[in-house]
Structure 1
Amino acid sequence: MKPMNYQQQYLKTKVETASPGELTLLLYEELFRKLNMAKKLNQQKLQGEMLQKLHGAREIMYELITTLNMDYEISQQLHALYDYYLRRITDFIVTKDEEVLEEVIQFAKEYAETWKQALHIVKTGNA
């Protein structure tokens, strides 16, 4: 068995001790990171590696979908939004149109920033 490096151990501990809100933030941040890496790999013409990052991004989107509580209208709206961006990732894979990928990157960036602000407000009570 291969020992984990310090970075992997830190991430494992961070995930295991995170609240549900913090886990959602981690997912959005990782989604943003994978999409940016995919963009760079596409520019370098490294299609195999790019597809791996996009596959990881799609897995994150599916995880976000499965965590939704569909008893709430907002969850239904988020489901439609996540589904849209999943289709946009597929559109990029087919067309290689970077504007399409940039649209998904901006979504991930904005939701990570918004979620981070929301967690800060919840923790501090300051709007």
Structure 2
Amino acid sequence: MFHSASNPISSYQKVEYDANIESASPHQLVALLFQGAEQAVALARVHMESQNLAEKGQSISKAIDIINLGLKASLDLEAGGEIAQNLSALYDYMARRLITANIKNQPAILDEVSMLLKEISSAWGEAAKIITSAQP
């Protein structure tokens, strides 16, 4: 019933994470999605290297879910125009690459997706700064 109480660090992290989500702006929520996807890919790499196949698969599935159900789902394809369309295609590409990495057990593909996530996340962070600084 109180499983999380057996791990106080995990409980604290969950409470802190939940508080961050509740107080986050839309830009911060997207940044948290990028962070979660990057962490899941990094964890998948660790599991891949230690040959923990079940955990590797779970981490890759989590990354794919964050990309598809979080990042891609947050796109406004009409208002975002070509940029949103390109991001949608890139998110599809990353999800396919993660599936390939899982099937073929190729850490280089995880590195590729991680690099793409970091580049997009960095650009998103810069755009958010510009938008925030332009607001009165």
Q: What TM-score do you get using the length of structure 1 for normalisation?
A: 0.89
Uncovered stretches (5+) of structure 1, i.e. residues with no partner? none
Task: Flag the structure with more relative contact order, 1 or 2, with Cα contacts below 8 A and sequence separation at least 6.
Answer: 1
**Is the Cα–Cα contact under 8 Å of residues 41 and 63 in structure 2 kept in the other structure?**
yes
The aligned residue for residue 68 of structure 1 is 75
Aligned-pair identity (%): 29
Partner of residue 41 from structure 1, selected from 44, 47, 59: 47
Partner of residue 6 from structure 1, selected from 1, 4, 12: 12
Once residues 63 and 123 of structure 2 are traced to their aligned partners in structure 1, the CA distance between those partners, rounded to angstroms, is 19
**Is the Cα–Cα contact under 8 Å of residues 98 and 109 in structure 2 kept in the other structure?**
yes
- SS where residue 31 of structure 2 aligns? helix
- String of CA shifts for 1:66-85, please: whole Å, max 9, x gaps: 11111022111111110011
Once residues 76 and 113 of structure 1 are traced to their aligned partners in structure 2, the CA distance between those partners, rounded to angstroms, is 19
The aligned residue for residue 103 of structure 2 is 94
The aligned residue for residue 25 of structure 1 is 31
Partner of residue 92 from structure 2, selected from 83, 89, 102: 83
> 1:112 Cα shift?
2.1
Once residues 126 and 75 of structure 2 are traced to their aligned partners in structure 1, the CA distance between those partners, rounded to angstroms, is 20
Once residues 106 and 19 of structure 2 are traced to their aligned partners in structure 1, the CA distance between those partners, rounded to angstroms, is 37
Query: Matched residue pairs, number?
Result: 125
The residue type paired with residue 64 of structure 1 is L
Q: Which moved more, 1:40-49 or 1:65-74?
A: 65-74
The structure richer in helix per residue is: 2
- SS where residue 45 of structure 1 aligns? coil
The residue type paired with residue 121 of structure 2 is A
Uncovered stretches (5+) of structure 2, i.e. residues with no partner? 6-10
User: Aligned Cα RMSD in Å?
Assistant: 1.6
The aligned residue for residue 131 of structure 2 is 122
Q: What TM-score do you get using the length of structure 2 for normalisation?
A: 0.84
Partner of residue 52 from structure 1, selected from 24, 49, 58: 58
